[in-house]
Structure 1
Amino acid sequence: MLAGGLTDLAALAEVADRFADRPGGRRARRVFGLADPGAQSPPESHLRVRLILAGLPRPVTQHPVRLSSGLVLHPDLAWPEFRVAVEYDGQWHADPDQLHRDRRRLNQMVAAGWLVLHVTSRRLRGDFPAVLREVRTALASRGWRR
């Protein structure tokens, strides 16, 4: 709804405030506070929310990274101040042509000074504690302090 322009964060906050004293009002405020119009898929949102709830700083969705060539890339999740990005790789990333594009993009991001982690659907479902450790370690290696 956010990405489609059907509502915005201010409208969600207004609804949460209006119903704060009703059953579910506090939960609505918390859930609406996790919403992000830049999310491009439910699993990407799932990953982002789980990282935030685990205590990591809120990432920027689809942050523009301008390369020296002028090309602009938009990683799924980014912490620009630390130059750390996370890409969510669903099933379609297994296609040989898509894999080729993904690897070229990875090389371009790394050449621009970014540390890029990839999270697959399998790892999001079954290995999230390790994913969390990897992202936390990447951020810490770039200067993030809790």
Structure 2
Amino acid sequence: MHPPSELLPQLLNQPFTVAEARAAGLSRRRTRARDLVNHCHGVRAPATTQNSLLDRLRALTAATGAVVSHLSAAVLWGFPLPLALENVAVVHLTSDPGRRAVRYKNVVGHQQSLEPDEVVAGAWVRCTSPLRTWFDLADILNLDDLVIAGDFLLRRRNPLTTVDALDAFLAGKRGRPGYRRAVRARALMRANTDSPKETELRLLLTRHGLPEPGINVPIFDETGGWIQDPDLSYERERIAIQYDGAHHADPGQRRSDIFRDENARDAGWRVVVLTQTDLDPLAPGMTPTAVTRVRAALEERGWTPEPGRSPRGSAPASRPYDTNGR
């Protein structure tokens, strides 16, 4: 059996449609050769290419002309998602209302109108913009997860949008599916976070009746020298809250953390260091240790609950996120 003929350069290392292959001079038999894989009907790719999510998306969008959306777009943008959703093999694609929704195995096809600025053309695929992707997640995620994803949009480093742009976008979605939950999430979203765990911890504290802490507010010593930007803090009570993820166990990072916190304590701050164990209740219905420890620190510094203020129900168990240890 003769080996298949070499592919043309424009067909190497990427998916291509059968129509593109025929236009390049490949025979029907060549498109069925063993060195090509069939990601979906009408699309081929060299077997040497990696079978990653991006490869699948490139193949599917090449065959359908659809836009990557919803959870698939969220993964491409790097949104923090519960691991149960982030690792799902199902692909989400959106087509214009005038076109039939995509129907393939392990594909969820959507039909919806997308404004020109709601589609971003990347090097390999077109996907929904960060704002549109977040809005589409309103019908998929629970409220806390939607807030966490929204805070990611407004994160301190390399934000994907601005508060003004977010509010203007939402104003134009009034009455659309998902609008009400998106508005509820917007009321809880805050800018300048560094990690999903900051958001999760903030929501946990406020849900249990504690005042809302500041986010990454810098601490200075009496000479004006910078000490640290704690994850969360209460300036009036001079309480700094740090969430230490897995990477804080590194010896070098641990030494840096100790130096950081000792400087804050020398400046008169009470430092509360929390980990994932503190966010998880020991048993259903129990108050997480994070809440009891922060409440004790607040009371130690003279804080008292507002009259009539009570926790807004028990907090849900914290969800796993791939946060790289933060």
TM range (shorter): 0.7 to 0.9
1:27 alignment partner, SS class:
helix
| TM-score, normalization by structure 1 | 0.85
> Which one of the candidate residues 120, 123, 129 is aligned to 2:278?
123
1:140 alignment partner, SS class:
helix
Unaligned 5+ residue runs, structure 1? none
How many corresponding residue pairs?
146
2:218 corresponds to which letter in structure 1? P
Higher normalized helix content (fraction of residues): 1
Deviations 1:52-94 (A, max 9, x none): 2222211111111012462331111011111011100000111
Q: Is the 8 A contact 2:220 2:226 kept in 1?
A: yes
Aligned to 1:5: 159
2:268 corresponds to which letter in structure 1? G
Deviation at 1:47, TM superposition (A): 1.1
CA distance in 2: counterparts of 1:140 and 1:82, whole angstroms = 9
Q: Does 1:42 align with 2:201?
A: no
Q: Does 1:86 align with 2:238?
A: no
Deviation at 1:6, TM superposition (A): 2.6
Aligned to 1:134: 293
CA gap of 1:134–1:26, structure 2 versus 1, over 3 A, is: same
The 5 Å alignment of 1:82-121 reads 82-121=237-276
CA distance in 1: counterparts of 2:233 and 2:221, whole angstroms = 15
Q: Percent identity?
A: 37
1:87 alignment partner, SS class:
strand
Aligned to 1:32: 186
Unaligned 5+ residue runs, structure 2? 1-152, 306-326
Deviation at 1:111, TM superposition (A): 0.8
Deviation at 1:11, TM superposition (A): 3.4
Q: Relative contact order (C-alpha < 8 Å, sep 6+): which is higher?
A: 1
CA distance in 2: counterparts of 1:63 and 1:73, whole angstroms = 8
Q: Is the 8 A contact 1:17 1:29 kept in 2?
A: no
Query: Which is greater in Rg?
Result: 2
1:99 corresponds to which letter in structure 2? R
Alpha-carbon RMSD across the aligned residues, in angstroms, is 2.1
